[in-house]
Structure 1
Amino acid sequence: MIKTPHQITSAFLNRNVALEIFRPEQSAVQKPLHLLLFNDGQEAEALTLGATAAALRTAGKIEPLMIVAIKAGHNRLQEYGVAGVPDFMGRGAKADAYTKFVVSELLPYLYSTYKTLNGGKCGFAGCSLGGLSAFDITWRHPELFDLAGVFSGAFWWRKKAFEDGYSDQDRILHEMIRETAGSPAVKFWLMTGTEDETSDRNHNYIIDSIDDTIDVIKELLNKGYKRPDQVFYYEMVGGKHHPSSWAKALPHFLTWAFATPYYPV
């Protein structure tokens, strides 16, 4: 994979957004190139994005793929979230602007610059709060995205603090799924680690990150999605809320999302 640093000026975010683009040698691309956007691109090395994709491609397990790692700015806690619905602390207030950057600035730039992307699949992935953001943007724009990958997603994102009478109905993403008319034509790969955290707010001996992710899956099933083709869940025993665990899970996601036709996922 060729790693190239890029920078794109965003009018919506009023800042320059740094990217790292990982792409195969041109001679290795024999068909439309698939595209994967990845939030928190500053963690690209820790996540082994380029090395893992290159190894899987060399082994014939995935089709040609370009990964665009989008580096978060100092306003990460404002730009990531659920667009139009800040959490109980006001975080995520710029998530709508970030969505517009991805949809109206970043993707048009990529498709105009790299012509081989036209005709390939497009996915969006992220970890923790970046995973919540990736899910939200993909859900809202199924005309642009085919799939989402979420590693230890911040699905706890909520409108109300615990001390203010919180209930599970206050989780923002779950409510968004319920209230969306129809079912966006997108596939979802969701991962948690059994050691993501220790919090267990309902005292059911299951950590909150797993509970919240399972409840996202339930909401998707209620919308008519099917497992495992449209919703895939991977629970990593011993997995932690850390890039080292997400890096270990990455090959599973990439082979699910971009597997060659003859490679069994």
Structure 2
Amino acid sequence: MADHLPAFFPAESSTVTVRHDDSLISVPLRRAIHLDIILPPDYSQRSTPYPVLYLNDGQDLTRLQMTRVLDSLYQKRAIQPFVLVAIHAGDRIQEYGTAARPDYMNRGSKAGLYTDFVLTELLPYVKKHYNISSEPTKSVFAGFSLGGLSAFDIVFHHPEHFSRSGVFSGSFWWRSKSTEDGYRDETDRIMHDLVRKGSHHRQLKFWFETGTDDETSDRNNNGIIDSIEDTTDLIAELVRKGYSRTEEIRYVEIAGGKHDQETWSQILPDFLIWAFGQ
């Protein structure tokens, strides 16, 4: 693991600073890891460790208009300063998923390796090179679509490292059996099953977003698209596990919201204020 880090690159017309970091090589993933680190305006002016947000699909920061969103929130003093660690995806179909097992098509076969990378390589690396807190209460993990499934799985199963999870249009349809030929056993949804078999951790909190135009599929023909129903069913599992729907879970449903970065960018302020509000 190299100690050499590249120079800072200030974002155009921005008060935040973006650092492109390619120094981390992952052993379990057998590839170089590309990180975009966004530092808050006062990063060089204080020694107190910052809260941190780890974000899957970090290659999408431009389409998410992340620096613009952060600048606006900082200027309004709507959020406390934090460090954003955006992890560029590799083989996302295989690395994102649920660490316990892949889906029925063997997608997510490297999700366990990705979790290993996050816990044993990424967290120590970021702690060493950036002024961030290692306290679970100061650590958040979020993602989009499959990356959201991955982020939720990591947080839910590792409360010793994280306290909050953000999921935008999460792929909670992830299943152990196909729904083709009319098969609709909802107990085969993997993340729902993992929550049922998991434990309640009082410090965990969860933020979910779906859009009414995320997709058109409605496998049980009840008038609710699958992406919404899979998410609300997962929330129901969390509630049955003991999590408070009002205090520990936030669900945002966007009328006309699509499964794309433009929709997710629009709702980013809601998530960031929830996670890092003053």
Same fold (TM over 0.5): yes
Question: Residue 3 of structure 1 aligns with which residue?
Answer: 18
Query: 20, 36, 45: which one pairs with 1:20?
Result: 36
Task: Please say if 1:180 is aligned against 2:204.
Answer: no
Query: 104, 122, 134: which one pairs with 2:151?
Result: 134
Alignment of 1:39-78 (within 5 A): 39-73=56-90, 75-78=91-94
Question: Residue 205 of structure 1 aligns with which residue?
Answer: 223
Structure 1 stretches of 4+ with a deviation exceeding 2 A read 25-32, 115-120, 163-166, 181-185
- Higher relative CO (Cα under 8 Å, sequence separation at least 6) belongs to 1
Task: Please say if 1:114 is aligned against 2:95.
Answer: no
Shift of the 239–30 alpha-carbon distance from structure 1 to 2, 3 Å rule, reads: farther
Task: Please say if 1:101 is aligned against 2:114.
Answer: no
Count of paired positions: 259
* Distance in 2 separating the partners of 1:103 and 1:56: 29
* Distance in 2 separating the partners of 1:35 and 1:161: 37
- Root-mean-square deviation (CA, aligned residues, Å) is 1.5
* Distance in 2 separating the partners of 1:28 and 1:193: 39
Residue 197 of structure 1 aligns to a residue in which SS? coil
- Identity among equivalent positions (%) equals 47
Offset at 1:32?
Answer: 3.4
In the superposition, the TM-score normalised over structure 2's length comes to 0.89
Post-superposition CA distance 1:107-165 (Å, at most 9, x none): 10111112343557110000100000000011111011010000000000001011363
Question: Residue 176 of structure 2 aligns with which residue?
Answer: 159
Query: 223, 236, 249: which one pairs with 1:231?
Result: 249
Task: Please say if 1:258 is aligned against 2:276.
Answer: yes
Residue 115 of structure 1 aligns to a residue in which SS? coil
Task: Please say if 1:150 is aligned against 2:150.
Answer: no
Unpaired runs of at least 5, structure 1: 261-265
Residue 117 of structure 1 aligns to a residue in which SS? coil
Query: 234, 237, 248: which one pairs with 2:266?
Result: 248
Offset at 1:183?
Answer: 3.4
* Distance in 2 separating the partners of 1:217 and 1:201: 19
Unpaired runs of at least 5, structure 2: 1-15
Post-superposition CA distance 1:227-259 (Å, at most 9, x none): 222010000111000000000010000001100
